[in-house]
Structure 1
């Protein structure tokens, strides 16, 4: 039996709709409704059809029918005496499937209900087809984006990238669109994790360069690297502000930006030995905020290999932090020297623990292993030259090895970020 809800805009008992429904085998699930209750009752009863009688339909009825179409779509049959064409267009736009003008009759009730149901089913089929077509188009766009990621990362052709996607799809028993979405998602977060991680390193590099200049290093050399680092931080913050969701990450990025403004102002002021501890404190604040942002991005990416990228990126920061503390100990008083020694010991332990981790994980390649060997060489030389650090040649060697170590891990990060294992997790 067909079930129905009814809306009747007529004095009670003056219209035969309710009695006629029962006589032709249409079950009324509730007494005739008020206009404002249509959606609530439709959700509650889930009728096969909604039948309305309103001689002159109002805006309130059409708003209710639109809400019904948006919330709990059902076939709608509307009897009226208003044959205005604009009213017809409005009714169809609001989800009315049979708009009957001056045509009410008990003998016509069932055929018109069937007409409304048939049109509703047809519209639903067309909407489903349209949604499926839209989904396929979106999937195709995602596949193309994923192919682009793989082509850049693996230096392969369009056909080879497509074959990689097919292979991954078969091995994981997922649609190619799902695999592609995962790759695009992973690549996006890999880039954000890398850029946020660079902010950690640059905070320490800038403090190191400030101290090296105070210690008598070539001003031109340090100034050029300082200028590059300043531009790099500005560029990375602008990229993250554009790429990340402000409601999700905006508060963390604001902390990074605020701490960067304070450090930047200190670095651009005339250099003074009396300000070196203040510069170090501001650099540590930027480091803490960038570290928090990087860790949150790693977790938000929900891809396990992002942790590898985070660890490798953190090594860049630790290389600069160790060199910074070594120069700070050279320039400072006894209390500052003690602070520097503690910082060097902490940084060394963290760096070497991460090196052991990176050597042992299965995510590797001949290029990665060679890069780790180069980094280990620079690290050994930096340790040897900093215990204790001596002015002149010792300072130059420390600066060179810290930059060499940074360059080695920049290359390693690119290898980790672009590896196939990183992209597909």
Structure 2
């Protein structure tokens, strides 16, 4: 497993690097500033990002949000700041495991495993949400296309739906794609 270390503190991060190497992880080139995080993630393709910080700065949180949106990865953050509002903000920026005051080498592997499990669970929820949103969008398109057929061609709802299905089968397309074509044509013709 490839680990990207981000050191956002003044203290040396060598102990964390050594503990990860001893646990069998591949530790990638360290990132010294949060501003370089997205570029490092895109170029080094880590499996997990670990950030050591006294208290995450606004720049760090903004960069994490960008990474979470553009190249999501499990993120473990070790911090000295246990403020409740900060923890909510950090989790909202995409951190999957936030550990306060505890960089014990023996705890690293379980913490990373929790971050991986939470990240996979969140990814599954995001995929399911995207699928449901896509289905809802498709359903709206189909309803709109049926409405157009009912209005313009004087069809009943079942007839309009049957016409959409027949056209989809004839063209080898999904029902939503045929609906999209009908709506585009209606928009073009006015």
Give the TM-score normalised by structure 2.
0.95
User: 1:178: Cα distance to partner?
Assistant: 0.5
Larger Rg: 1
More off after superposition, 31-40 vs 42-51: 31-40
User: 1:13: Cα distance to partner?
Assistant: 3.9
1:67 to 2:66 alignment: yes
Paired with 2:31 and 2:184, the residues of 1 have a C-alpha distance of 51
User: 1:120: Cα distance to partner?
Assistant: 0.9
Residues 248-271 of structure 1, C-alpha deviations (whole Å, 9 max, x = no match): xxxxxxxxxxxxxxxxxxxxxxxx
User: 1:151: Cα distance to partner?
Assistant: 1.0
What is the match of residue 124 of structure 2? 125
Paired with 2:13 and 2:20, the residues of 1 have a C-alpha distance of 15
Residues 318-339 of structure 1, C-alpha deviations (whole Å, 9 max, x = no match): xxxxxxxxxxxxxxxxxxxxxx
What is the match of residue 274 of structure 1? none
Q: Is the 8 A contact 2:31 2:40 kept in 1?
A: no
RCO higher in 1 or 2 (8 Å CA, sep ≥ 6)? 2
What RMSD in Å do the two structures reach over aligned CA positions? 1.3
Q: Is the 8 A contact 2:53 2:79 kept in 1?
A: yes
Kindly report structure 1 stretches of 4+ aligned residues shifted beyond 6 Å: none
What is the match of residue 89 of structure 1? 88
What is the match of residue 5 of structure 2? 6
Say if 1:176 and 1:9 are closer, same or farther in 2 by CA, change over 3 A. Answer: same
What is the match of residue 115 of structure 2? 116
What is the match of residue 135 of structure 1? 134
User: 1:31: Cα distance to partner?
Assistant: 2.6
Q: Is the 8 A contact 2:7 2:13 kept in 1?
A: no
What is the match of residue 159 of structure 1? 158
What is the match of residue 357 of structure 1? none
DSSP-derived class of the 2:21 partner: helix
Residues 210-229 of structure 1, C-alpha deviations (whole Å, 9 max, x = no match): xxxxxxxxxxxxxxxxxxxx
Q: Is the 8 A contact 1:5 1:33 kept in 2?
A: no
What is the match of residue 17 of structure 2? 18
User: 1:11: Cα distance to partner?
Assistant: 4.0
User: 1:175: Cα distance to partner?
Assistant: 0.8
What is the match of residue 56 of structure 1? 55
Paired with 1:109 and 1:188, the residues of 2 have a C-alpha distance of 58
User: 1:69: Cα distance to partner?
Assistant: 0.9
Structure 1 gap ranges (5+): 192-425
What is the match of residue 101 of structure 2? 102
User: 1:103: Cα distance to partner?
Assistant: 2.1
User: 1:14: Cα distance to partner?
Assistant: 5.9
Paired with 1:56 and 1:11, the residues of 2 have a C-alpha distance of 12
User: 1:60: Cα distance to partner?
Assistant: 1.6
Paired with 2:21 and 2:122, the residues of 1 have a C-alpha distance of 28
Residues 19-55 of structure 1, C-alpha deviations (whole Å, 9 max, x = no match): 1111101111213432111110101111100001112
Paired with 1:171 and 1:68, the residues of 2 have a C-alpha distance of 43
Paired with 2:64 and 2:167, the residues of 1 have a C-alpha distance of 46
Paired with 2:156 and 2:139, the residues of 1 have a C-alpha distance of 18
Answer 1 or 2: which has greater helix percent: 1
Matches of residues 11-410 of structure 1 in structure 2 within 5 Å? 11=10, 13=12, 15-191=14-190
Say if 1:117 and 1:35 are closer, same or farther in 2 by CA, change over 3 A. Answer: same
Say if 1:99 and 1:12 are closer, same or farther in 2 by CA, change over 3 A. Answer: closer
Provide the aligned length of Structure 1 versus Structure 2: 190
Paired with 1:168 and 1:3, the residues of 2 have a C-alpha distance of 49
What is the match of residue 269 of structure 1? none
Q: Is the 8 A contact 2:34 2:59 kept in 1?
A: yes
Answer 1 or 2: which has greater strand percent: 2
